[in-house]
Chain A
Amino acid sequence: MEPILTKYVREPNSYTLDFFLAHQGYEGLKKALGMQPNEIIELVKASGLRGRGGAGFPTGLKFQFVDKKSEPRYIACNADESEPGTFKDHVLMERNPHLLFEGCLIGCWAIGAKVAYIYIRGEFYHVQKVLEAELANAYAKGYAGKNILGTGFDCDIVIHRGAGAYEAGEETALIESLEGKRAQPRIKPPFPAVAGLYNKPTAVNNVETLCNLPAIVTNGAQWFASLGPEKNGGPKLFCVSGHVKKPGVFEASMKTTLRELIFDHAGGIRDGHQLKAVIPGGSSVPILLPHELDIPASFDDVQKAGSMLGSAGIIVMDETTCMVWRRATCCTSTSTSRAASAHPVVKGRTGFTRSSRASRTAKGKCATSTCSSASATTLSGRRSAHSATRRRPRH
């Protein structure tokens, strides 16, 4: 499949406005502003675009759920990419920032928002500098701000720097952080579509999700859906890292199997070693073994195999990796301050790390029981867990 989002990222000046305009840049926005907002929402729904941040929720529905009676409405772009093993938004923002702006503007037009906040993680300082410089160019040329492209549509884009909080990747936590509070998730409902940022209707979308909007508007829903398997349409960015020869971000259809991604796109395992295990979607999802890799890398197929595609951060490990050490490393990362607000993560961590340490001293007895609680306390377990912690009196 020919890349769509990352086609030009290797060109030296791909991030500039001139380059973007010379390669059909802002064409999607022009077309979108000629359509009714409802038409765009229907188009996105028909395309089957699913959120690329991890949960895979249909984006069209998210836009539709935004309460259209309440003013103002907001788009919050989730650029707090902090799931270990994920670095796709980093590449998109660093090398193709205007595509993100275009996506934000189309999203704003669709839900009737006047401001899009891009919440970028604090560590991406150099990426933020690129975004800010290019945003200034977009404003100067009339692609953002007042009266965009002479259509009378006003929309501001604001770049907001986070300060290091893993939890801010969760949508309600991101909103809390944007409001100047601790990045701790809220109890849902109410969902952000009804009461989000400043208690106003908000659509929170991942960078990659918004970057898909221009192509959908330009080429149509049918085209987009046909790029992948059923209900998993469109191009997808996969981040392959770990013990592979050519780690990097690869754009592919979700029809591609995990094995092809690792062995064809990423060049296979480093010389003289064999594959031992693969984490298919960031370090909080269950691992897959070498014989389980012949499945399409789509949200549904990976889930059927007992794991999750999540944010598509594929971490590959060869036979030199101790699985107990791996578990302990992941536990440390979720238990340090960045995720420390999550009660089960904290509680579970003490258990994991202790048993991991114990089993490492016992030479190789694997702490398998702790791994099952890992899946129970990450992602899916998070929401209910937070409800529990938030209801406690806080001292």
Chain B
Amino acid sequence: MSFHPLMVYDSEHFHKSERGRLDEGKPFEFTRERRAILDDMLTKYPPDQKRSAVLGALYLVQEQEGYLTASGMRHVAGILGMTAAEVDDVATYYVMFFKERVGKYVFQVCRTLSCALGGAERVTEALSEKLGIKPGETDPSGLFTLLEFECLGACDRAPVVMVNNEHWHERVTPESCSTLVDDIKTRGAAAVSGCYLKVER
């Protein structure tokens, strides 16, 4: 038995045939710009260790497709000289890769202790109610996905919500989250500000 991140360990009814298989997706090839980024990344590692760039390559697949597809991973395997199974092995381990279709905006609410002490459960509830979905689900319009996440490493600014793996919104409250959702609906990606040294402590 191996340990798979998607495995539900405490379920009474779990069977290995229930394991998710990755979506085949569209036929995949990197755009020229992304391929150039990957080639540049490869120069940073020894020439016989191309495999080191696999995480970077998978981020690029995710950026292009929105989530990881089986055809995208085969493409990566071809470039890096790995087998498709090896890429699959890596991709399914790391939690920042989406293995199924997600919304355009993915809310990841940190729920680990410091954020939980700061009221992360309230934030998740508020977002859940606002979007009409439970954690782990995508809303019918395909715009939002709500996920719970483990420690983001900003415990002094708890609770934290990360949007799309990149943008942090810190010291959020149930109200501010709800405003953020409305803002994204009207202004799109411009509403996602994140923290690029804009907020001083």
Contact of B152 with A by CB under 8 A: yes
Give the shortest distance, in Å, between B192 (CB) and chain A (any CB). 12
Contact between A87 and B154, CB atoms less than 8 A apart: yes
Give the shortest distance, in Å, between A166 (CB) and chain B (any CB). 7
Contact between A163 and B59, CB atoms less than 8 A apart: yes
Contact between B114 and A177, CB atoms less than 8 A apart: no
Contact of A98 with B by CB under 8 A: no
Contact between B9 and A315, CB atoms less than 8 A apart: no
Contact indicator per residue, chain B 91-122, by CB within 8 Å of chain A (1) or not (0): 00111110000000000000111101110000
Whole-angstrom distance between the alpha carbons of A193 and B200 in the complex? Answer: 40
Contact between A126 and B3, CB atoms less than 8 A apart: no
Beyond A163-B96, A247-B156, is A177–B197 a contact (Cβ under 8 Å)?
Answer: no
Give the shortest distance, in Å, between B59 (CB) and chain A (any CB). 7
Contact between B94 and A163, CB atoms less than 8 A apart: yes
Cross-chain contact of A337 among B5, B89, B151, B157 (Cβ < 8 A): B5
Cross-chain contact of A313 among B89, B97, B155, B195 (Cβ < 8 A): B155
Contact between B9 and A123, CB atoms less than 8 A apart: no
Contact between A162 and B55, CB atoms less than 8 A apart: yes
Contact between A122 and B114, CB atoms less than 8 A apart: no
Beyond A283-B112, A330-B113, is A183–B93 a contact (Cβ under 8 Å)?
Answer: yes
Contact between B150 and A177, CB atoms less than 8 A apart: no
Contact of A239 with B by CB under 8 A: yes
Q: Number of B residues whose C-beta is below 8 Å from A?
A: 57
Cross-chain contact of A182 among B58, B90, B112 (Cβ < 8 A): B90
Beyond A84-B151, A85-B155, is A180–B80 a contact (Cβ under 8 Å)?
Answer: yes
Contact between A247 and B51, CB atoms less than 8 A apart: no
Contact between A87 and B156, CB atoms less than 8 A apart: yes
Contact between B97 and A178, CB atoms less than 8 A apart: no
Give the shortest distance, in Å, between B185 (CB) and chain A (any CB). 24
Q: Number of A residues whose C-beta is below 8 Å from B?
A: 73
Query: Which residues of the partner chain A approach B158 to less than 8 Å between Cβ atoms?
Result: 241, 247
Contact between B10 and A124, CB atoms less than 8 A apart: no
Contact between B153 and A82, CB atoms less than 8 A apart: yes
Beyond A84-B155, A85-B114, is A166–B150 a contact (Cβ under 8 Å)?
Answer: yes
Whole-angstrom distance between the alpha carbons of A148 and B199 in the complex? Answer: 34
Query: Which residues of the partner chain B approach A147 to less than 8 Å between Cβ atoms?
Result: none
Give the shortest distance, in Å, between A10 (CB) and chain B (any CB). 7
Cross-chain contact of A283 among B96, B113, B153, B166 (Cβ < 8 A): B113
Beyond A85-B113, A336-B150, is A164–B197 a contact (Cβ under 8 Å)?
Answer: no
Contact indicator per residue, chain A 313-336, by CB within 8 Å of chain B (1) or not (0): 101010001000010011011011
Contact between B55 and A177, CB atoms less than 8 A apart: yes
Query: Which residues of the partner chain A approach B156 to less than 8 Å between Cβ atoms?
Result: 87, 239-241, 247-249
Contact between B10 and A353, CB atoms less than 8 A apart: yes
**Which residues of A166-193 have CB atoms within 8 Å of chain B's CB atoms?**
166, 177-183
Q: Which residue of A lies closest to B162 (CB)?
A: A123
Q: How many A-B residue pairs have CB under 8 A?
A: 182
Contact between A125 and B165, CB atoms less than 8 A apart: yes
Whole-angstrom distance between the alpha carbons of A163 and B91 in the complex? Answer: 9
The SS class assigned to the B binding surface is: loop
Q: Which of A105-113, A338-346, A358-366 contacts B (4 or more CB under 8 A)?
A: A338-346
Beyond A321-B117, A329-B112, A346-B9, is A123–B153 a contact (Cβ under 8 Å)?
Answer: yes
B4, B53, B94: residue with the most chain A Cβ atoms closer than 10 Å = B94
Whole-angstrom distance between the alpha carbons of A82 and B152 in the complex? Answer: 7
Contact of B56 with A by CB under 8 A: yes
Give the shortest distance, in Å, between B148 (CB) and chain A (any CB). 8
Contact between A242 and B153, CB atoms less than 8 A apart: no
Contact of A15 with B by CB under 8 A: yes
Give the shortest distance, in Å, between A96 (CB) and chain B (any CB). 13
**Which residues of A113-170 have CB atoms within 8 Å of chain B's CB atoms?**
121-126, 129-130, 156, 158, 160-166
Query: Which residues of the partner chain B approach A34 to less than 8 Å between Cβ atoms?
Result: none
Contact of A272 with B by CB under 8 A: no
Contact of B49 with A by CB under 8 A: yes
Give the shortest distance, in Å, between A246 (CB) and chain B (any CB). 9
Q: Which residue of A lies closest to B54 (CB)?
A: A180
Contact between B165 and A122, CB atoms less than 8 A apart: yes
Whole-angstrom distance between the alpha carbons of A89 and B152 in the complex? Answer: 12
Query: Which residues of the partner chain B approach A394 to less than 8 Å between Cβ atoms?
Result: 2
Query: Which residues of the partner chain B approach A353 to less than 8 Å between Cβ atoms?
Result: 10
Q: Which residue of A lies closest to B96 (CB)?
A: A164
Contact of A90 with B by CB under 8 A: yes
Contact between B196 and A126, CB atoms less than 8 A apart: yes
Contact of A251 with B by CB under 8 A: no
Contact between A123 and B200, CB atoms less than 8 A apart: no
Whole-angstrom distance between the alpha carbons of A85 and B98 in the complex? Answer: 26
In the complex, the 5 A-B pairs of residues with the closest C-beta atoms, listed nearest first: A337-B5, A180-B51, A241-B155, A163-B94, A164-B96
Known A84-B112, A129-B196; 7 more pairs at CB < 8 Å = A84-B114, A85-B113, A87-B156, A122-B96, A126-B197, A180-B82, A247-B157
User: Which residues in A have some Cβ–Cβ distance to B below 8 Å?
Assistant: 10, 12, 15, 81-87, 89-90, 94, 121-126, 129-130, 156, 158, 160-166, 177-183, 198, 239-243, 247-249, 279, 283, 313, 315, 317, 321, 326, 329-330, 332-333, 335-338, 340-341, 343, 346, 349-350, 353-354, 389, 392, 394-395
